[in-house]
């Protein structure tokens, strides 16, 4: 681990964060905190502000008011120091470009390299370790565009992991993946928590949340509920907040 939150401080802290896109209110006074070594599930329908919240935490969008800290630092500073890894919901990638899986994962090490971006032994070791942990070592030389959807998702998880971050933000890591990749990612997230890393992940798969997450936050531009997953996912809470019931086992929640 490369750093730690100040003693007694949350790994992720958001206080009264409000974000507008022009006249559109995307986040309305959102507050949440995640202690080190925990997995927090971020829940909400499409358009509820989950992706905006990730970007606000990372310092990629400015808040109109409020405070955001990662390990006691502003998001941009935490990113520069390689303390936070981010796996977005979708990647803007030219899938026909002839870049290998290993090359994609090596991009996660750019912040550790000099301006000429020449990988050192430590960079290569971190990449190989990330490939192993995501079960992609056997596909490392394959072109990224030739992978399945689940394999591509694992490659971008590996890229974030190669940074060696203390905090991981994952926007819909299970969307569009096969069962094998889903199981690999789930097992990896649990191991990372066991290593003391902090994870914030969004998902529409409510059935997965109680078995994977230590806590959950229900978002609808503002925080509707937060706490233990079983409490946050009480049918009356979900119904009141969104007008939709909790789905059955294996069903996904969307709008």
Give CA–CA dist 185/191, Å, rounded: 10
Q: Which of 31, 59, 10 has the alpha carbon at shortest distance from 222?
A: 31
Give the start-to-end residue ranges of the domains of the chain: 10-83+200-240
pLDDT digits (tens, 9 = 90+) for 50-91: 999 999 999 999 999 999 999 999 988 998 888 999 998 876
Q: What pLDDT score does 254 carry?
A: 44
Which tokens is 77 given?
């500073």
Q: How far is CA 41 from CA 82, 200, 201, in A?
A: 22, 6, 5
Q: What is the mean pLDDT of residues 19-48?
A: 95
Percent of the chain with pLDDT over 70: 89
- CA angle at 34 for the pair 28 and 35, rounded to the nearest 5°: 155
pLDDT surpassing 60 at residue 31: yes
3-state secondary structure of 169: strand
pTM of structure: 0.88
pLDDT surpassing 50 at residue 253: no
Q: Which residues contact 19 (CB under 8 A, 6 or more apart)?
A: 25, 26, 27, 49, 52, 56, 61, 62, 63, 64
Domain 10-83+200-240 coded CATH 3.40.50.300: yes
Q: Which of 210, 173, 14 has the alpha carbon at shortest distance from 85?
A: 173
């Amino acid at each position: 681990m490369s750093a730690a939150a100040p003693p007694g401080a949350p790994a992720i802290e958001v206080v009264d964060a409000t974000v507008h896109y022009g006249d559109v209110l995307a986040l309305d006074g959102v507050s949440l905190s995640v202690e080190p070594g925990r997995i927090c599930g971020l829940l909400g329908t499409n358009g509820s502000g989950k992706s905006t919240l990730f970007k606000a935490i990372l310092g990629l969008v400015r808040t109109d008011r409020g405070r955001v800290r990662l390990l006691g630092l502003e998001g941009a500073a935490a990113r520069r120091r390689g303390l936070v890894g981010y796996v977005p919901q979708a990647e803007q990638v030219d899938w026909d470009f002839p870049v290998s899986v290993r090359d994609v994962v090596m991009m996660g090490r750019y912040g550790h390299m000099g301006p000429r971006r020449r990988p050192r032994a430590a960079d290569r070791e971190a990449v190989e370790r990330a490939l192993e942990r995501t079960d992609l070592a056997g596909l490392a030389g394959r072109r990224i565009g030739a992978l399945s959807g689940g394999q591509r998702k694992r490659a971008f998880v590996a890229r974030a992991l190669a940074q060696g971050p203390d905090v991981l933000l994952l926007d819909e890591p299970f969307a569009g993946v096969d069962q094998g990749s889903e199981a690999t990612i789930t097992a990896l997230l649990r191991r990372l928590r066991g290593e003391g890393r902090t994870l914030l992940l969004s998902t529409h798969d409510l059935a997965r949340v109680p078995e994977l997450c230590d806590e959950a936050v229900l978002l609808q531009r503002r925080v509707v509920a937060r706490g233990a997953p079983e409490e946050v996912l009480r049918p009356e809470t979900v119904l009141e907040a969104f007008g939709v019931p909790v789905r059955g086992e294996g069903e996904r929640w969307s709008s």
